[in-house]
A and B are shown apart, each in its own frame.
Chain A
Amino acid sequence: MPPGGGRAPGRTVLGVGVSRVVVLGAGISGHTAAAFARSWLGRGDTVTVVSPRPDYNWVPSNIWVGVGLMKPAQVTIPLAPIYERAGIEFVLASAREIHPEGDPQDASPYITAESADGAITRVPYDFLINATGPALRFDKTEGLGPDGGHSLSVCLPQHAAQAAAALEEEVERMRKGEPRRFLVGVGHGTCTCEGAAFEYIVNLEFELRNRGVRDKAEITWITNEYELGDFGMGGMHLKRGGYITPSSIFNASLFAERGIDWITRAHVSRVEPDRVLYETLDGSEREQGFDFAMLLPPFSGVGLKAFDREGGEITERLFMPNEFMRVDANYTATAYEDWKASDWPRTYQSPDYGNIFAAGIAFAPPHAISVPRKSPNGTIIAPAPPRTGMPSAMIGKAVASSIVDMIGGAEAPTHTASMAEMGAACVASAGANPFTGTAASMTVFPIVPDFERYPEYGRDKDRTFGEIGLAGHWIKILLHHLFLYKARLRPGWRRIPE
């Protein structure tokens, strides 16, 4: 069908369409890709989403669940009714295997998915979008995580609700006069998403002030960043007050103003019930006590396996060792000095199979953005590159667009969304209140620094800015409602940008 053609049809039946687009994952990237593909494809084509979770989660607002300001139901929406209305097939199961060449009986490609009761479903596809997001690897650090470990998390709504309940207990203790120690940050040397942990610590501090117990709390930030404000993006430089100032200065100022202490360049190696053991870049082993710890885990891919037509495993052809999917990036191992913006993928197409794409966190980045560093013991202590939120959605949309054009006859992907060519707007909450709250509003352009185009700082100084204030909080609230409205695919949702 011609690009940009027909509106969404009514209900579809699995596997009988002209073209079958299958999306693995219903997070920000997968949901965006499925919604746009359905909206652009014609009546006979089918779009199927395979996801292990029944709900869509607006992850940025999990922070507010984690401090008790929202309930999980306020940051999640059930997917089944949305997909039924939109004409998207929904398979509630975890994707397990990709068979890009089919099997000896049938050369049609398919994936297999396992539902909660162990049943295996075979889902055929003509085009596949892997948007499975990350696996939360709490297992990489002993004692990390809320399930059997000693720390909390805000990665999932139920994790955030657990954190809120634990925080409530701490507040009660402090009201009785007991001093408490809070530790927030990342639980491994290779973590990403420092921005989410940053939002949590400043919201936590704000809430403790609001509840009148701030004087009883000792709050510490622990991070794998070399300097504060790196956020896995190598930091950024902002034009402010007649200076070009690195984000580390602003981050340190924010913490100092709020009485938050910090530990940088740290790899948490073990979490015990009342303390973390960590190694720093200089090789020293230290510990930090806590009564309440919210530490994010490192990520990997979700562990999809791939097989050729004869059943031989080809996982290594499709995926990197970290289980993220290989796409059109330059994965040649080079020194940091030789990294280029052009190493980053543009179309997110698998180099081996032209009908497979990866979107959002599921694609394998060619390398980090921050400078890679190791301790004398060989421990990697450097943030992994973030690719959540706005870039995830934009990649999902670009991939859906390319697939629709390829179904219409294009021989190669027609749309791009390189993180080295796009900017990002980000609002980091620093306290939620309509009159006294604040948030840091930031834009960066591009996300991945391009030192060939912008030799001094890698980014456009006029398009990279940040400021903190109440306006940012209003924007954050607006985005919460706007993106949940968009995720519900309500009238006009396509007009809301990613």
Chain B
Amino acid sequence: MESEHSSYATKPTRFTVFMRTFLPWQLWRFAAINLKMIGIIRRSHRGDSRK
């Protein structure tokens, strides 16, 4: 049975859940997320990097 909390929460559609493990899409997301993270890491290292 669904809890009271959960009935007020946003839930993903079947398509969204499918895309989370759909290999071609996830391969693309793997590249995209890595690029985003590298950007954050590079920006964050500005203060500690040695010249």
Which residues of A come within 8 Å of B, CB atoms?
3-4, 40, 249, 252-253, 255-257, 259, 261-262, 346, 390, 394, 397-398, 401, 404, 415-418, 421-425, 435-436, 438, 441, 443, 445, 463, 465, 467-472, 474-475, 497-498
Contact = CB atoms under 8 A, between A and B. Distances in A.
3 shortest A-B CB distances, which residue pairs? A398-B48, A256-B9, A256-B6
Nearest to A220: B3
Q: Is the interface of A mostly helix, strand, loop or mixed?
A: mixed
A475 B30 contact: yes
A255 B6 contact: yes
Contacts of A257: 11-12, 17
Given A438-B20, A469-B26, A470-B21, A4 B50 contact: yes
Size class of the B contact interface (CB-based, 8 Å): 35 or more
B37 A425 contact: yes
16 contacts: A249-B9, A252-B5, A252-B10, A253-B11, A256-B5, A257-B11, A394-B48, A415-B50, A416-B48, A421-B47, A443-B40, A463-B39, A469-B20, A474-B30, A475-B30, A497-B42
A441 B41 CA distance: 14
Contacts of B37: 425, 441, 443, 475
Interface in B1-37: 2-3, 5-12, 17, 19-21, 23, 25-27, 29-30, 33-34, 36-37
B46 to A, nearest CB: 8
Contacts of B40: 423-425, 443, 445, 463
A261 B5 contact: yes
A467 B44 contact: no
Given A252-B8, A256-B6, 6 more contacts: A3-B51, A252-B6, A417-B48, A445-B43, A469-B25, A471-B27
Contact of B47 (A261, A346, A435): A346
Nearest to A421: B47
A474 B12 CA distance: 22
A468 B20 contact: yes
A497 B11 contact: no
Contact of A471 (B10, B30, B39, B45): B30
B10 A253 contact: yes
A378 to B, nearest CB: 28
B22 to A, nearest CB: 8
Contacts of B39: 463
Contacts of A472: 33
A261 B21 contact: no
A441 to B, nearest CB: 5
A205 to B, nearest CB: 13
Contact of B11 (A256, A424, A465, A468): A256
Given A463-B40, A471-B33, A475-B34, A398 B20 contact: no
A422 B49 CA distance: 13
Contacts of B51: 3-4
A400 to B, nearest CB: 9
A401 B45 CA distance: 12
B34 A255 contact: no
